[in-house]
Amino acid sequence: MAQRSKILIVDDEPFNVDLLEQQLEELGYETVSAANGQEALARVAAEAPDLILLDVMMPIMDGFTVCRLLKDNEETRLIPIVIMTALGAVEDRIQGIEAGADDFLTKPVDERELLARIQTTLKLKHAVDRRINELRRVKDHFARFVPEAVKRLVAANPEAPELAKQERDVSVLFLDISGYTHLSERLAPGVLNTLVSWQSFRTLTHTDTPSRPLTLPSPCSPLRKCSIGTTVASPWPSTWVSTPALPWSARPASRAGAARAGPSRPAVR
């Protein structure tokens, strides 16, 4: 079931508020009310209405001031405001337009005119909301592929972010785990992520050097048991074996063993 549109009625005359609430609720709208301009601002912040019916002549803060404050606010400027007034002078309407009003109704309000203006205004409001939501989803989707450093540059200067090409040194770690597909079918995602993280740590803290290649030549059964207790088929030749104390770890090999083993690889217990 579609959510009902919420309309805020701002008027200091209780009779006018009661009459509009009855008419609008019969038409299927949800209503909230405020008795003056200051209360109206608080209602907008708390209720986020879809439309505001705003009286002009009110105590504390008049309708033109309320309209101007709402239209100057980034969070509320897209809420349509229909000013209701008994004033028919052209100057008053010009003042309302300058304050940012979207439409006008002259008191006493005709029910058919009220319905027509509300329907037209809400139709436009919902169309704008849908478009904004679509753009927000697209923005959120592409934001996942933008590095944090680029996001900070754009946020610091949206109009002209400093995105000029620069030459910088960069270190890139490529981690390739033989048999990953087989492991992913056997292990829970959380366990598999832990193993990948551990292997990344071991790779970063045990760097190969020309004099001490990280290889493990040793005969071993092709069926091995990983550190979490799950038996998996080894994707490597039987000349590879892991150090018993650590999962996916490696130790230096003898010169003769290194020649037999070939290129170094991590091994799974």
Is pLDDT of 152 > 90?
no
Structure-token pair, residue 133 = 């939501």
- Taking the C-alpha atoms of residue 92 and residue 105, their distance in angstroms, rounded to an integer, is 12
The torsion angles phi and psi of 224, rounded to 5 degrees, stand at -125, 170
Tell me, yes or no, if the pTM score tops 0.75: no
**Which of 30-44, 96-110, 129-143 has the highest average model confidence (pLDDT)?**
30-44
Q: What 3-state DSSP class applies to 54?
A: strand
Q: 231 or 168: which carries more pLDDT confidence?
A: 168
261, 194 Cβ separation under 8 angstroms: no
pLDDT tens digits for range 180-218: 788 788 888 888 888 777 776 666 665 444 434 333 333
Mean pLDDT, to the nearest integer, of 167-191?
Answer: 77
Look at residues 34, 29, 59 and name the one whose alpha carbon lies nearest to residue 45. Answer: 34
- Taking the C-alpha atoms of residue 110 and residue 130, their distance in angstroms, rounded to an integer, is 30
67, 40 Cβ separation under 8 angstroms: no
Q: What 3-state DSSP class applies to 15?
A: helix
DSSP letter for 235, please. S
- Taking the C-alpha atoms of residue 164 and residue 185, their distance in angstroms, rounded to an integer, is 44
Superfamily of domain 6-143: Response regulator (3.40.50.2300)
Q: 48 or 109: which carries more pLDDT confidence?
A: 48
DSSP letter for 217, please. B
Structure-token pair, residue 172 = 């890139």
Is pLDDT of 253 > 50?
no
Q: What 3-state DSSP class applies to 132?
A: helix
pLDDT score recorded for residue 52: 96
Burial of 268 (0-12, 13-18, 19+ CB in 10 A): buried
Structure-token pair, residue 122 = 């809400």
Mean pLDDT, to the nearest integer, of 22-42?
Answer: 93
Is pLDDT of 220 > 60?
no
Is pLDDT of 40 > 60?
yes
Lowest mean pLDDT of 33-47, 128-142, 176-190, 195-209, name the range. Answer: 195-209
pLDDT tens digits for range 50-67: 999 999 889 889 999 999
Is pLDDT of 247 > 50?
no
Residues belonging to the chain: 269
Mean pLDDT, to the nearest integer, of 170-187?
Answer: 76
pLDDT tens digits for range 254-269: 444 444 444 444 444 4
Look at residues 99, 101, 79 and name the one whose alpha carbon lies nearest to residue 6. Answer: 79
Structure-token pair, residue 237 = 């030749």
Domain range list for the chain = 6-143, 180-261
- Taking the C-alpha atoms of residue 44 and residue 253, their distance in angstroms, rounded to an integer, is 72
Is pLDDT of 223 > 60?
no
Q: What is the CA radius of gyration of the chain?
A: 34
